[in-house]
Amino acid sequence: MMFTIVISNKESHAHVPMIPELKSLALKNMSSWMDELNDVSTPRKVPPLSLPIQQTKDDDRTLLLAGTDTSSGTMEWAMSLLLNHPEILKKAQAEIDGSIGQERLLEESDLSKLPYLHCIISETLRMYPAGPLLVPHESSEECIVGSYTIPRGTMLLVNIWAIQNDPKIWVDPTEFRPARMERIEGGRDGFKLMPFGSGRRGCPGESLGMRMVGLALGSLIQCFEWERVGEEMGDMEEGTGLTLPKAKPLLAKCTPRSTMLDLLSHLR
């Protein structure tokens, strides 16, 4: 079976006009849930904030596209790395088999039992952060960084890609070594690893993103055997864009694992 792990940019943008329709449907289905939530929420001490409808639409689109592009891109980089390092792929498969078994599919609640899978995702995000420049920030007051004076109100971009691939900070940063993430204290180790930013201005979707990628990537590893197309190593050239896409989309061969065939055949 030939498998393209993410759709192209052109195909992705072709679905953008569907967003308002999907949003309306989602809001309709969520209305009763929101009513219940409002009933149990603490009464507001300030009047609710009113936003222009266009700003609301733009914010919705930003949240939706930011969450999908970054997650699918991270999965594509992770699978590309695993296909170029089949021994790491086998180790991840063995961890899932040992912790979850082959009688059921991986569930979100299982992710805490799969530390090596978490290391694979973290190492992928180190090498290929979904937001290589994070998001723009603004200095609230004048400050000095190194030999530079940063005036108040300056737009700031953090080149997290450079930090996470700096040989002065990381040993052999171009090498894919998930095991190094086992030694990262508190998941951050200072500010040397922060693909989602840090502090109160960090990405609000970090927890959701890690769960989404973990569940999807783990399921692909659990259910299928993967191979490169041809004998050559997979292309790892970086493309251009806010979310660091691959220059050439991943194309891989996958075959359902014989031990998972019965389970997969009963899926609807």
Q: What is the pLDDT of residues 26-51, one digit of tens each?
A: 556 555 545 554 555 555 565 666 67
Residue numbering of the annotated binding site for heme: 203
Let me know: does 101 contact 110? Beta carbons within 8 Å: no
Q: Where are the beta strands (DSSP E) in the chain?
A: 2-4, 137-138, 143-145, 148-150, 155-156, 224-228, 251-256
Structural domains of the chain in order of their starting residue, each with its CATH number: 65-135+154-268 (1.10.630.10)
Model confidence, pTM:
0.80
Helix (H, G, I), strand (E, B) or coil at 144: strand
| Whether residue 6 has pLDDT greater than 60 | no
H or E element that contains 265: helix 261-265
CA distance 192 to 176: 16
Let me know: does 244 contact 234? Beta carbons within 8 Å: no
Q: Which position has the token pair 């989404």?
A: 212
Residue numbering of the annotated binding site: 203
Backbone angles phi, psi at 243, to 5 degrees: -110, 20
CA distance 160 to 137: 13
Per-residue pLDDT tens digits for 59-96:
777 777 777 888 999 999 999 999 999 999 999 999 99
- pLDDT band (50, 70, 90) for residue 155: very high
